Amino acid sequence: MEAIYQERRKRMLKACVGREAEMKGKKTAKYVKNNIIIDQVLGIAYCPVEKTASTFWKRVLRVVVGEAHAKSPFDSSVIALATFDNMTSIPEDMVDRFMKESLTFMFVREPYGRLLSAYVDKLFSPNLYYWKLYGAFGVNVTRNESTECGHNLTFREFVKTVLYADEHNEKRDGHFTPSYEHCDPCRYKWQVIGNLDTLPQDIFYILDRIGRTDLMRSLNKDFREQYLNDTILDQFNWLFYFRKSYAIDCNVTFYEAQKRLWKQFQIRGVLTKESEFPLTTEESEGLTKKKLMSVVYNAMGNAEKRSKARKNKAEAFKEAYSTLDREDLDKLSKIFQPDCDLYGYDCQPEQLFNTERTVIEPWFFKYDT
């Protein structure tokens, strides 16, 4: 295990040689220092990056530092959004020493998958906040239209919006910007680089280093199932939080929002393509959160059905990226290049950059299927 993390760090440090300024990106040093979570007593520094299990890790740290009296980060009493101490509390001349003497870690993710996941979570799903914050901006950028609610921004339009935001340094949301910009890896030289693909083993390695074997035991039993259940609950909490606002703010019915969430679960590989939304408009309007969740869990079915559903992720990925033109793919590749060099990803994967690319008929990203 130790060798894996040494190799990841070695790759990162090698990519930094002579490129320290480039690897800072467009975020300020102040932004990065505010972003890095620390605990001076325990000697921990963690750099959260959106869409790399950062909410989960914040909840873990709530338990680790003793501010949440729970046995598991999945306990409903553990709140991730509360404030933490950050790197600004360390005098600049003490930062290097603190980083050297502490356990420091961050998590990364394949950049194309991370970007699509952010789109699905923030704009394809019934996320009223992002429809108004970023969707409306995207509609203005790509269609030259003014709207209060960009609830129907396509992935192709979303990517063009991200590229525009990067070029003009405008509305650069952390969910859509490269991982390296959040953590300045050449400055802080992170010791442990976790990967979303190896999330459980990386979590257990870090918890072992911290000395929290009790948390390891609570998470070791069906970790992926606990993680999935927590994700599903989070999506339903947001759906019902915005319940009365969809129609008022975006002219989207609660029934349409539920169907959008259902399709999101299919894209995520939670539900099979054959699992049709079983409710009528009338049935959906008076539904409670508990009842709708039971409908989803019933549709998830047995292990064989869940295994089949997981294959949706790769299909949805191909479908979404098939809609992009080569010019936009090349621009994305340049934005992602530092992440690829630092963390060992392929910035021009064959399935995306094949010269014989064809647009796939939409199913996952078509709302009425």
116-175 confidence digits (pLDDT tens): 999 999 999 999 999 999 999 999 999 999 999 999 999 999 999 999 999 999 999 999
Residues of the chain with pLDDT under 70: 67-68, 80-82, 368-369
Q: Given this model, what pLDDT does residue 71 score?
A: 80
C-beta separation of 103 from 44 below 8 A: yes
> Which domain, by its residues, includes 192?
2-109+179-221
Q: What is the largest CA-CA distance in the chain?
A: 64
Per the domain annotation, does 47 fall within a domain?
yes
Per the domain annotation, does 356 fall within a domain?
no
Q: Given this model, what pLDDT does residue 308 score?
A: 92
CA distance linking residue 101 with residue 39, whole number of Å: 12
C-beta separation of 278 from 295 below 8 A: yes
Per the domain annotation, does 42 fall within a domain?
yes
Distances (CA, A) of 237 to 230, 253, 333: 11, 17, 35
Per the domain annotation, does 163 fall within a domain?
no
Distances (CA, A) of 361 to 41, 75, 274, 319: 55, 41, 17, 7
Count of domains forming the chain: 1
Residue 271's region, left for phi above 0, alpha for psi from -120 to 50, else beta, is: beta
Q: Fill in the DSSP letter of residue 77.
A: T
Distances (CA, A) of 72 to 54, 173, 235, 244, 279: 16, 30, 20, 32, 35
C-beta separation of 131 from 119 below 8 A: no
Q: Please state the pTM of the whole predicted model.
A: 0.95
C-alpha 68: how far from chain center = 24
Per the domain annotation, does 165 fall within a domain?
no
Per the domain annotation, does 352 fall within a domain?
no
Complete DSSP assignment for 27-64? S-HHHHHHH-EEETTTTEEEE--TTSSHHHHHHHHHHH
Q: Given this model, what pLDDT does residue 78 score?
A: 81
Q: Given this model, what pLDDT does residue 139 score?
A: 97
Per the domain annotation, does 65 fall within a domain?
yes
Per the domain annotation, does 204 fall within a domain?
yes
Q: Given this model, what pLDDT does residue 369 score?
A: 54
Q: How many CB atoms lie within 10 A of CB 347?
A: 18
C-beta separation of 219 from 72 below 8 A: yes
Q: How many CB atoms lie within 10 A of CB 325?
A: 12
Say how many residues make up the chain: 369
